Amino acid sequence: MKPTMLILPPNSKPKNLAMRKKFRFFTLLILANIFSIVALAQTKTISGNVKNSRTGDGVPAVSVTIKNGTAGTYTDEKGNFKLNSDSPVPLTLLVSSIGYELKEVPVSNTSTFIDISLTPASTLGQEVVVSATRTPSRILESPVTIERISAANIRNTAAVSYYDMIGKLKGVDVVSSSLTFSTPSTRGFNGSGNLRFNQIVDGMDNQAPGLNFAVGSIIGLTELDVESVELLPGASSALYGPGGQNGALIINSKDPFKYQGLSFQVKTGIMHVDSRERKPSPYYNWSLRWAEKVSDKFAFKVGGELIQAKDWIGDDYRDYDRLGTTGSVILGTRSTDPNYDGINIYGDETTVDIKSNVLNPLARAAPFYAPYVNALPSSIPVSRTGYLEKEIVNPNTVNVKLSGEVSYKLTRKLSLNAEGYWGTGNTVYTGSDRYSLLNLKVGQYKVELVHTNWFLRAYTTQENAGDSYNATVTARLFNEAWKPSGGTTGWYYQYSLAFLSAKLAGKTDIEAHNAARAVADVGRPVAGSDEFNRILDKVRSIPISQGGGLFVDKTNLYNVEGQYDLSPYTSKFANILIGGNYKRYVLNSEGTLFADSTGKIGINEVGAYIQASKRFINNKLNIIASARYDKNENFDGRFTPRVSAVITVAEDNNIRLTYQQAYRFGSTQQQYINLRVGGGTALIGGVQSFRTFYKFNSNPVYAIDDNLFAGHPQVANLPKFKAETVNSFEVGYKGLLIQKKLLIDLYGFYGIYNDFIARTLVAQSVNGDASVFSDPATVKANLNNPAITTTYSVPTNVNSDVTTYGFGIGLTYSLPANFVLGANVTSDHLDKVPANFIAAFNAPKHRVGASFSNTGFGYQKRLGFNFTYRWQDDVNYQGDFANGLVPAYQTLDGQVSYKFTAQNVLLKLGATNLLNEYYRNGFGNATIGGIYYVSIGYNIF
């Protein structure tokens, strides 16, 4: 939503109601008397300039409105404004901007240039947020926990990207797949491509409709165009629709009417400074924004950003015992485990039991060796030799973002906006495997009519996976393309013969394995060689469906939505807001990701919501009730309520209580994915047609659990796939204490998930022969043999409840001289989870954050700095790619800045992960070090 309402003074909620009534009165009056007014009106232009009283600098994007009037404008990048008004003099200008005290300026003569000086004020608790109720309200009075990042915060951050700032917010966890691909979440259930967290940019859901991850970190707003980032931790479906069970992130761009002029920022840095992963390499982040208010009615903006660097690398080379999509870290290296499967080494997922597949047949042909062969272990699984992630995955991170908007004010209250974001780039994503997203392209385009009281919006998300490929699948196929695994000239035959020969020469088993590998790997292409590149390029250019590693995905989303604020008509009873949307996904992966080899798959979804709020007891109690209904064609319809109360216990001190329900339908992948992943497991969708296609009824699937390994297979119970629900209870307090210098934010929540969507592993005999599961000695080998069994990862609903709880406390203290000290402690717990289900909670039990900053001190307040510290506990991380313990880690980011006032240039010297202490925040993901940079920004507001 465009922040049209933000022109209202931030602390004028009661007045707001009064003003609305007046607006309505004026509207009627204007409509009734429009011609006479036009005839009587005499348009005047008021000119002036707004300066910071302390520094004398011009202040851009300051709202200048006429008190009790409708006209308003914003200052330009130098603080100048021109306001056309037909109000009679004398009049009063209301001059307001976040971070400054509201000022009323009487104007008696419109021809005089007006110099206005605004006094900086503490912003503690003064911010206005929209996302909590879909209408503007003071952050202190928000009915739910909310975090906000303002343009001022971005200006003073040490993070290299505004998106990285989200991870420093209270209670937020981020999983970084790579330098530019990070996924935030709150209150647990995080992972790369989190499905329980909505991200909405300028009103558009920016989840890639086919890939199912939010693309906010790679496609979307450029840093210079972000006006605010609002984060709603916890359930949010009641207003934002399916998916927001663990939070919603609402990012708004800068209105071209308000933020004008040319801005640019050049960040140049260095990373990999200690050559741990690769040689030191530069980091570039250049961004540009140009907005122009052509007239009072028309404004536009264009922007662009380019990021270029050598990516962080997934370099966890620990040995992994994989079974389908589960597994655990085990002891082992390539030279000590013949079946070694390094986490970030690809191609070594291919495993064959050479005992049963080669040596036993050989012993049958040469029976005099049978006792010798029989004396070897009963199963000898051997993996093929893999390649390191840095050898298989494109090392160049490139991210290009382009955006633009035109905005036309049809009337003072009604604007027509058209906006587009387009981005492309290379990055690395972790899903069921690691993916090199190469030339990924995502575009989001919208047109909207925004009225003071309503909006109507249509947008589409156009996704194209470009040349992206699955690192595991590609590396495995690479090995097959170089030397096939099977056959009497195949790798495993050569290996087995060499193994037996080495045994017959006396070698111990492991020595014989290493000798055998050396023989079978003779001529193996060296990473980076011409032959290597030739095979790799070939394999990754062939779609997965045709036996390559390329995944083709051109899935699109179309969405139409509207909202009407009925308050002007209903305010006597209550403030009422209604809205609705229609969504259509068109899955198009040409059979590489979805079961759409025969044609595109459409999925329709409709939803509607209503919200009513009313204040009681002299405005000290505000009750807000919302409800939403959604229907997806593959799921039963869902109704979700939210009820919250805000109790004002004292001025600027509020207690909030909320009960809300949130839910999500399975993602498009959870509905229709049909993909063989690295270990050979078939990831399939939850819709009924898959079970029919794979004949689950006539050839039963068995749960892969302890019973199966004990030789007592149990037919898996797979009821109809349903939506997942969470019932969330939250209590919080936000208040200003100690002469409004200390902002306290407390919260506690309890969530109960029903029909929790998880994946479960089941196994099916290829030939319908259940006896392959009956011998405990061979079950595991059979499960790993695709000729005997197929393992499916099927989305399913957990019958029992999964519960979570957590709490947090945040303190922000405004010290004298503009110093601000912040600290927070948050905690999330998974309380109850049924056995054998992979919940992927992935949240540390404890986190600690601290910050110390100043946006202007020293000589002419030109100096600034910001240090942010974060520590988190270890996490027992679960994901489709790999599971294991992510150790506790800390990070420190810091920057110092200096402003050249006359030139309007901000110079920043900063670092993320200042101590260069490498860490991973997701298992199997990139290992992240420090980036040290210099940033020069012009006209950064």
Partner 1 sequence: MNNSFYKHRKLAGFCSFVMGVIIFTSCNKEIPGPIPIPYTPANNSTTSIGAEISSNPSYSIFKAAATRVGAMAMLSDSTKVFTVFLPDDNAFIASGIPSAAVIAQLPITSVGGIVNYAIIPGEQLTSENTSTAFPNVQLPTAITIGQLPGTTIPLNLSTFPSKRTNGFWDNNIPVVTPDIKFKNGVIHVVAGIVAPPSQLLKSALKANPNLTYFNAAIARADSGSTGLSRFDSLLNYAVTNMTVLAPNDAAFRTLIFGLAFQGYLDYLKSLGAVPTATDSANAFATGNGAVAAGPAFLSTNNISTAQVRGIIAYHFLATPNPNTGAYEPNIRVFSVNFSRTPSFVTTLVNSSYAPHPGILVSPTFTTVAPNVTIVTSLKFTGLGTFPPGGAPYSGAPATAVSLDNHAVNGVYYVIDKVLLPQ
Question: Which residues contact partner 1 by CB under 8 A?
Answer: 54, 316-319, 331-333, 335-337, 342, 362, 364, 366-372, 375, 497-498, 500-508, 510-512, 815-817, 819, 821, 850, 852, 854, 857-859, 861, 867, 869, 871, 887-890, 892, 915, 917-920, 927
State the Cα–Cα distance between residues 213 and 207, nearest whole angstrom. Answer: 5
Select 717 or 890, whichever has its Cβ closest to partner 1. Answer: 890
Angle at 510 between CA 505 and CA 516, to 5 degrees: 60
Select 258 or 847, whichever has its Cβ closest to partner 1. Answer: 847
Q: How far is the CB of 122 from partner 1 (least distance, A)?
A: 14
Select 205 or 319, whichever has its Cβ closest to partner 1. Answer: 319
Q: How far is the CB of 368 from partner 1 (least distance, A)?
A: 6
Q: How far is the CB of 857 from partner 1 (least distance, A)?
A: 5
Select 558 or 857, whichever has its Cβ closest to partner 1. Answer: 857
Q: How far is the CB of 350 from partner 1 (least distance, A)?
A: 19
Select 500 or 726, whichever has its Cβ closest to partner 1. Answer: 500
State the Cα–Cα distance between residues 481 and 478, nearest whole angstrom. Answer: 5
Select 501 or 571, whichever has its Cβ closest to partner 1. Answer: 501
Select 452 or 854, whichever has its Cβ closest to partner 1. Answer: 854
Q: How far is the CB of 635 from partner 1 (least distance, A)?
A: 41
Select 21 or 507, whichever has its Cβ closest to partner 1. Answer: 507
State the Cα–Cα distance between residues 179 and 522, nearest whole angstrom. Answer: 36
Unique residue bearing structure tokens 């050396």: 518
Select 511 or 801, whichever has its Cβ closest to partner 1. Answer: 511
Closest CA to 932 of 308, 154, 156, 282: 282
Within 8 A by CB and 6+ apart from 924, the residues are 314, 316, 343, 344, 430, 434, 879, 881, 882, 884
Question: Is the bond preceding residue 90 a cis peptide, omega within 30 degrees?
Answer: yes
Tell me 108's DSSP state: S
Select 372 or 422, whichever has its Cβ closest to partner 1. Answer: 372
Closest CA to 47 of 87, 79, 9: 79
- State the CB neighbour count (10 A cutoff) for residue 573: 11
Q: How far is the CB of 66 from partner 1 (least distance, A)?
A: 33
Q: How far is the CB of 489 from partner 1 (least distance, A)?
A: 12
Q: How far is the CB of 894 from partner 1 (least distance, A)?
A: 10
Q: Coil, strand or helix: which one is 593?
A: coil
Tell me 426's DSSP state: E
Residue 705: exposure state from Cβ atoms within 10 A (0-12, 13-18, ≥19)? middle
Q: Where are the alpha helices (DSSP H) in 59-109?
A: none
Select 610 or 848, whichever has its Cβ closest to partner 1. Answer: 848
Q: How far is the CB of 100 from partner 1 (least distance, A)?
A: 16
Select 302 or 888, whichever has its Cβ closest to partner 1. Answer: 888
Select 371 or 719, whichever has its Cβ closest to partner 1. Answer: 371
Q: How far is the CB of 275 from partner 1 (least distance, A)?
A: 15
Q: How far is the CB of 193 from partner 1 (least distance, A)?
A: 23
Q: How far is the CB of 721 from partner 1 (least distance, A)?
A: 37
Q: How far is the CB of 501 from partner 1 (least distance, A)?
A: 5
Name residue 312's amino acid.
W
Select 71 or 512, whichever has its Cβ closest to partner 1. Answer: 512
Closest CA to 178 of 468, 464, 385: 468
Q: Coil, strand or helix: which one is 433?
A: coil
Select 35 or 859, whichever has its Cβ closest to partner 1. Answer: 859
Q: What is the bridge-based pairing of β-strands 114-118 and 44-52?
A: parallel
Angle at 631 between CA 629 and CA 636, to 5 degrees: 110
Asked if 911 contacts 931 with a C-beta cutoff of 8 angstroms, the reply is yes
Q: Which helix or strand (DSSP H or E) is residue 515 part of?
A: helix 509-520
Select 898 or 919, whichever has its Cβ closest to partner 1. Answer: 919
Select 402 or 850, whichever has its Cβ closest to partner 1. Answer: 850
Closest CA to 572 of 615, 517, 621, 531: 615
Q: How far is the CB of 508 from partner 1 (least distance, A)?
A: 5
Closest CA to 663 of 624, 623, 628, 612: 628
**Segment 8-16 long-range contacts (CB within 8 Å, at least 24 positions apart):** 8/136, 9/94, 9/96, 9/102, 10/96, 10/98, 10/102, 10/126, 10/127, 10/128, 10/138, 11/102, 11/126, 11/138, 13/137, 13/138, 13/141, 14/619, 16/136
Tell me 543's DSSP state: B
Q: Coil, strand or helix: which one is 480?
A: helix
Q: How far is the CB of 49 from partner 1 (least distance, A)?
A: 22
Within 8 A by CB and 6+ apart from 774, the residues are 711, 713
Residues 915, 916, 917, 919, CA torsion sign: positive
Within 8 A by CB and 6+ apart from 506, the residues are none
Q: What is the bridge-based pairing of β-strands 114-118 and 80-85?
A: unpaired
Asked if 121 contacts 100 with a C-beta cutoff of 8 angstroms, the reply is yes
Closest CA to 388 of 427, 432, 344, 351: 344
Q: How far is the CB of 155 from partner 1 (least distance, A)?
A: 20
Q: How far is the CB of 930 from partner 1 (least distance, A)?
A: 12
Q: Coil, strand or helix: which one is 657?
A: strand
Q: How far is the CB of 888 from partner 1 (least distance, A)?
A: 7
Select 456 or 821, whichever has its Cβ closest to partner 1. Answer: 821
Closest CA to 468 of 527, 530, 397, 543: 543
